[in-house]
C-alpha cells in the first residue's frame, strides 16, 4: 500500500514542517539510519531522554526519510517533519496501515470441529491446518486461528482476535482484538496441592480464565485457570514472552509484564502496573495501581504506588543508596 504525505497529515492530524512535496508517495516504514526518500521514520525527543541526544540528532540530520514523525520541531535540523502528539504511537498506526497482511478466511479440511462449536459468522473466520475446536467453543467474527491450535471446554474467542500456531486454550473467555502468540497456554490446571506427611494431593481447578479486549500475550507464556475464582486479565494489558501468571491472579487494565516475569497464585495487579523482566511477585499480594517493579526484583509484600528494585523489593532510591554505601565499604 502507498500513502501521500498530504493523506498522512490528515490521517494523523499532524502539522508539517520543511515539506516541499506533499504529493510524495510513501511506501514503507524504516529506522532513522536505513530510511529512504519514500519511507517514513520517527524521532521522539521524550523517549530518547536517557540516551545520547547528540548522537541521535546526528542520525536525524543524516536520515534520507521522506517524512519524520516527531513531537516537536528540532532546532538546527532541516528535515521534513510531521509533528504529532505521540510519534511512536502514530508510527505504529502507519506500520499497520502500510504493512498489514491480507485478511485470510476459510477453514482447512484438516481442522477438527465438533457439532457443539458455534460461529458468529463462519464465512469471516480463518481456521488453519489441524486445529481442534470442541466442547461448546464459541468463535466471534473475523477470528484467525493458525495451525495446530486446540480450543475446548466452553471457551469463547472474541471478534478480530488472532491466535498463532501451537496454542492451547481451555475454560477461557478471550475478548475482542486480542493477539495470542505461538505456544501460549491459557486455562491449564494451576499449581495447587493439599500437602500432608503422606505427600501432595492435587486440587482440581474449577475456575476459568477471563481475558479482556486488546490484550497481547507473548509466545510461550502461561495463564493458569483459577482453583475456585477466575484468573482475570484486564483490557489493554500487554504480556511479553515466557511470562507465568498463576491461578486466581487478577491483572488490571493496561498493565505491562516483560519477559520471564511471574505472578504466584492469587496476586492482584491493579491498573497500569509494570513488571520488569524476570521480576517475581509472591502469592496473594496486592500491587497498587501505577507501581513499577524493576527487572529481577522479588516482591514478598503488598506494595503502594512507587518504583521498586531488588530482593526483597524496596523503594528504588533506598535500594540505590544501599548499593552506593556497599561499594564504599568494599573499597
- Render pLDDT for 195-217 as a digit per residue (tens, 0 to 9): 999 999 999 999 999 999 999 99
Band (97; pLDDT cuts 50, 70, 90): confident
Residue 133: phi and psi, rounded to 5, are -125, 125
pLDDT at 56: 78
Reported pTM: 0.88
pLDDT at 48: 56
pLDDT at 43: 87
Nearest to 44 by CA among 17, 5, 81: 81
- Please give the DSSP secondary-structure letter assigned to residue 229: S
Mean pLDDT on 286-303: 98
pLDDT per residue as tens digits for the range 11-51: 999 999 999 999 999 999 999 999 999 999 998 776 655 55
pLDDT per residue as tens digits for the range 166-178: 999 999 999 999 9
Lowest-confidence range among 65-79, 164-178, 197-211, 218-232? 65-79
Average pLDDT of the chain to the nearest whole number:
94
Give the 3-state secondary structure of residue 52.
coil
Catalytic residue among 99, 200, 205, 247: 247
Strand 144-145 and strand 126-127: the pairing is parallel
Own/partner contacts of 235-241, CB < 8 Å, gap of 24 or more, are 235/175, 236/212, 237/212, 239/215, 240/277, 241/181
Q: Report the topology of domain 3-99.
A: 3.40.1390
pLDDT per residue as tens digits for the range 252-268: 999 999 999 999 999 99
pLDDT at 91: 93
Q: Is 284 a catalytic residue?
A: no
Q: What CATH code is assigned to 167-330?
A: 2.160.10.10
Mean pLDDT on 280-293: 98
Query: Cα 152–158–159 angle (5° rounding)?
Result: 130
pLDDT at 73: 79
- Cα–Cα distance for residue pair 254/270, rounded to 1 Å: 9
Mean pLDDT on 208-232: 98
Lowest-confidence range among 16-30, 136-150, 172-186, 244-258? 16-30
- Cα–Cα distance for residue pair 118/136, rounded to 1 Å: 7
Question: What are the residue boundaries of the structural domains of the chain, listed by start?
Answer: 3-99, 167-330
Amino acid at each position: 500500500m502507498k500513502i501521500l504525505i498530504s493523506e498522512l497529515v490528515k490521517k494523523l492530524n499532524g502539522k508539517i514542517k520543511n515539506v516541499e512535496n506533499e504529493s510524495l508517495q510513501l511506501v514503507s516504514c524504516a529506522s532513522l539510519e536505513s530510511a529512504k526518500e519514500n519511507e517514513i521514520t520517527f524521532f521522539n525527543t521524550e523517549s530518547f531522554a536517557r540516551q545520547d541526544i547528540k548522537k541521535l540528532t546526528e542520525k536525524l540530520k543524516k536520515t534520507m526519510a521522506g517524512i519524520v514523525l516527531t513531537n516537536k520541531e528540532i532546532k538546527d535540523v532541516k528535515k521534513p517533519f510531521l509533528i504529532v502528539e505521540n510519534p511512536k504511537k502514530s508510527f505504529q498506526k502507519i506500520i499497520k496501515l502500510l504493512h498489514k497482511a491480507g485478511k485470510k478466511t476459510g477453514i482447512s479440511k484438516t481442522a477438527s470441529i465438533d457439532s457443539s462449536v458455534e460461529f458468529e459468522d463462519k464465512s469471516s473466520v480463518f481456521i488453519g491446518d489441524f486445529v481442534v475446536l470442541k466442547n461448546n467453543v464459541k468463535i466471534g467474527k473475523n477470528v484467525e486461528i493458525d495451525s495446530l491450535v486446540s480450543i475446548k471446554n466452553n471457551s469463547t474467542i472474541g471478534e478480530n482476535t488472532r491466535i498463532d500456531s501451537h496454542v492451547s486454550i481451555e475454560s477461557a473467555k478471550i475478548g475482542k482484538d486480542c493477539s495470542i502468540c505461538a505456544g501460549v497456554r491459557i486455562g491449564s490446571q494451576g499449581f495447587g496441592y493439599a500437602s500432608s506427611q503422606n505427600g501432595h494431593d492435587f486440587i482440581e481447578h474449577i475456575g476459568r480464565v477471563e481475558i479482556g479486549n486488546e490484550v497481547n500475550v507473548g509466545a510461550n507464556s502461561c495463564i493458569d485457570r483459577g482453583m475456585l475464582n477466575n484468573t482475570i486479565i484486564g483490557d489493554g494489558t500487554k504480556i511479553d514472552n515466557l511470562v507465568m501468571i498463576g491461578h486466581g491472579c487478577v491483572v488490571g487494565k493496561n498493565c505491562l509484564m516483560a519477559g520471564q516475569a511471574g505472578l504466584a497464585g492469587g496476586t492482584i495487579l491493579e491498573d497500569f502496573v509494570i513488571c520488569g523482566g524476570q521480576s517475581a511477585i509472591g502469592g496473594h499480594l496486592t500491587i497498587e495501581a501505577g507501581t513499577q517493579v524493576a527487572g529481577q526484583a522479588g516482591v514478598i509484600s503488598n506494595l503502594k504506588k512507587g518504583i521498586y528494585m531488588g530482593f526483597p523489593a524496596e523503594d528504588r532510591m533506598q535500594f540505590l543508596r544501599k548499593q552506593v554505601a556497599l561499594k564504599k565499604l568494599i573499597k
